[in-house]
Amino acid sequence: MLGEQGPEDAVERLQAIAEGYGADGSAILPTFEIIATVASASAGADGDYSSVTNHEVIRPWIEAAAANGVYVVLDLQPGRSDFLSQAKHYEEFLRLPHVGLALDPEWRLKPHQVHLRQVGTVDAAEINGVVEWLAGIVREEALPQKLLIVHQFRFSMITNRELIETPPELAVLIHMDGQGSLGAKYNTWNTLTGEPDADRFHWGWKNFYDEDSPMATPAQVLELSPDIVFVSFQ
């Protein structure tokens, strides 16, 4: 959706999408989620099955966001690379107060795996490497708490989830980004949030315009428990 219009028009589109989500009294912070490294079908010159977006392509979106009170989340689909290596590529942006980070284990391949044949996976140890590095940036720059999202729609995507560190510098959020019927999504939600470690994290929900049948309404999202603090659309 983000690429269907330029940054300024995207700001306007966000306002309409956000309608209804303030019904619970929470403040709404419009957000651009930019897939900064994109899973690819071919290995590429470096063999990691991931394409890195140039800084100058992303920069206008980050600047427009800053000018309009919009947050930015840079999303990583690392292929056979690792999350920390890719996050460091965007350190310039992550040192800004309105830029957070998202890790998508679905696209974190093991050696000899390829995208869409296997669902990727990452261990808490690799996530914690990012946690420690990103929290360090927050301290160095005296930034407000920064959002760190980890996507998940099945248990195998994150091993040892209960060991993920949640320092005060970061709001660590598990993003339930599965698609399908509303009943199936509710089942996935209940399963992921029913684990003993669920209360250690913030929680997010993803709406798919074309793949969900039907797509959840704001009221249906807001009635879920635990409370949802991040809602994305694709």
Q: Can you spell out the DSSP letters for 190-234?
A: HHHHTSTTGGGSEEEEEE-TTTSBSPPPHHHHHTSSSPEEEEEE-
Instruction: Residue 202: give the domain boundaries.
Output: 2-233
On the question of pLDDT at 90 being above 90, the answer is: yes
What phi and psi, each to the nearest 5 degrees, are found at residue 223?
Answer: -85, -5
Structure pTM?
0.95
pLDDT band at residue 143, thresholds of 50, 70 and 90?
very high
Distance CA 190, CA 140 (A): 38
The confidence score (pLDDT) of residue 110 equals 85
On the question of pLDDT at 113 being above 90, the answer is: no
Per-residue pLDDT tens for 150-202?
999 999 999 999 999 999 999 999 999 989 999 999 999 999 999 999 999 99
Tokens of 229: 């603090």
Domain harbouring 20, CATH code:
3.20.20
Indicate the number of domains in the chain: 1
pLDDT band at residue 213, thresholds of 50, 70 and 90?
confident
**Rounded mean pLDDT of the chain?**
95
- 48-52, 131-135, 180-184: which has the highest mean pLDDT? 131-135
Q: Nearest-CA neighbor of 107 among 120, 123, 117, 125?
A: 120
